[in-house]
Amino acid sequence: MLDIERVRADFPALSRTVHGRPLVFLDSAASSQKPLPVLEAMERVYRECYANVHRGIYAFSEEATLAYENARDRVASFINAPVREGIIFTRNTTEAINLVAYAWGRMNIRSGDRILLTEMEHHSNLVPWQLLAQEKGAQLVYLPITDDGLLRMDLLDSLLDERVKLVAVTMMSNVLGTVNPVKEIICRAHAAGAVVLVDAAQSVPHMPVDVQDLDCDFLAFSGHKMCGPTGIGVLYGKEALLEAMPPFLGGGDMIRKVEWESATWNRLPWKFEAGTPAFVEGIGLGAAVDYLTGIGMEAIAAHERELTAYAMERLSALPGLNIIGPPAHQRGGVVAFTFRGIHPHDVAHMLDMEGIAVRAGHHCAQPLHRRLGLTATVRASFYLYNTAEEVDALARALERIGAMMGQ
């Protein structure tokens, strides 16, 4: 069980008031708030040992390099990567997926090949594959979803023919909250000869993730969604695949030797980390990993399951409100909904006036919204620092909005 008051005390932003009301922050699926240990770790680098990493033969640089590379080790341990060399620091999940599309995809996808996605993918796990397919003459195919937001697993094997070279799937939908059976998908995809990339942006921050147990080939996630800073993300890749891939970007730090006409590449992981890295942000991500590990990912996941179930119970009782997606036991801490006759943007604005921060729009998943016959939804998302009292505040505010708008 979480000591929720102790957790909340670690997040300075949660003590703010907005429009004269206590802040109720329910948009962690977009980006989470930051705890003091992360803020302090980053400030310490700027104050005490700021210097470019990997390059300086002096104390500041060596201290910063050690802290940065220690963060890589902690990330590797956090997702149970078999070797630290499989942890590539990127700017975010989007860049990590684009790295695979560019470096692995250009080398392995040919005309007539297929890339299998699902109907619930975020644009970041859709548009890079569209660009690759257009360039290579490949085809995108989609595993459908049911009307209540679950994957049609009964159709998977029929889509996994010999033409499918890559399966790219989200572990948890940022709209539906659906937690997908990715381990089963990976097993069946490998049996069909396909490589699998997992978009774990919504799962690594919220539940235990073990890349060796999943046996995924690639896995991508962002620091800013897991109590870390913006500007730092992670691509995990199997070492053999990463070794065979060409660099994504050229420049400093990713080279071993440069001639006038050619260059040879640095070893993993630095082959994919061109230029001065976001090392302060990387150190902040390491501190975030330590923070989450100290609390316990199982405890965080259990807290969010309980909170989500309570939120769905409270909100489903409101007239005119329709929750999108599966039952609580099949989803993570995301509840997206529509309110009859009220545009989601208006709902979000009225909630903001009561100090409640939610997201409204298509959540970078326009095709999914069209599949559901919607243009936009309101999304409340929960994290380790949210409480049942905040769910009650959301429900009361929505009840007032509904009464005001004639629901």
Q: CA torsion sign, 383 to 387 to 388 to 393?
A: negative
Where does residue 265 fall: left (phi above 0), alpha (psi -120 to 50 degrees), or beta otherwise? beta
Other CB atoms within 10 A of residue 310 CB:
16
User: Is-contact 204 221, C-beta < 8 A?
Assistant: yes
**Cα 80 to chain centroid, rounded:** 17
How far, in Å, CA of 178 to CA of 374, rounded?
18
| CA within 13 Å, CB half, 140 | 19
**Contacts (Cβ under 8 Å, ≥6 apart) of 180:** 118, 151, 169, 170, 171, 172, 173
How far, in Å, CA of 346 to CA of 202, rounded?
26
Q: What is the pTM of this model?
A: 0.97
pLDDT for the residue numbered 178: 98
- pLDDT tens readout for residues 296-336: 999 999 999 999 999 999 999 999 999 999 999 999 999 99
Q: Is the pLDDT of residue 406 over 90?
A: no
- Specify the 3-state DSSP secondary structure of 18: strand
Q: Is position 216 annotated as part of the catalytic site?
A: no
- Specify the 3-state DSSP secondary structure of 191: helix
Which pLDDT band holds residue 106 (cuts at 50, 70, 90)?
very high
- Specify the 3-state DSSP secondary structure of 367: helix
Q: Is the pLDDT of residue 1 over 90?
A: no
- Specify the 3-state DSSP secondary structure of 361: strand
Burial 193-220 (b: 16+ CB within 10 A, else e): ebbbbbbbbbbbbbbebebeebebbbbb
Q: Is the pLDDT of residue 407 over 80?
A: no
How far, in Å, CA of 185 to CA of 189, rounded?
6
Q: How do strand 321-324 and strand 263-265 relate by DSSP bridges?
A: unpaired
Domains of the chain: 4-30+297-404 (3.90.1150.10), 39-294 (3.40.640.10)
Rounded alpha-carbon distances, angstroms, from residue 153 to 142, 149, 150, 182, 366 = 12, 12, 8, 11, 22
Q: CA torsion sign, 121 to 123 to 128 to 133?
A: positive
pLDDT for the residue numbered 405: 87
DSSP lists the bridge partners of residue 322 as 338
- pLDDT tens readout for residues 199-241: 999 999 999 999 999 999 999 999 999 999 999 999 999 999 9
DSSP secondary structure code for residue 266 in this structure: P
Give which of 254, 186, 215, 204 is closest to 93, Cα–Cα.
204
pLDDT for the residue numbered 101: 98
| Catalytic member of 49, 187, 216, 364 | 364
Please provide the average confidence, as pLDDT, over all residues in the chain.
Answer: 97
pLDDT for the residue numbered 31: 98
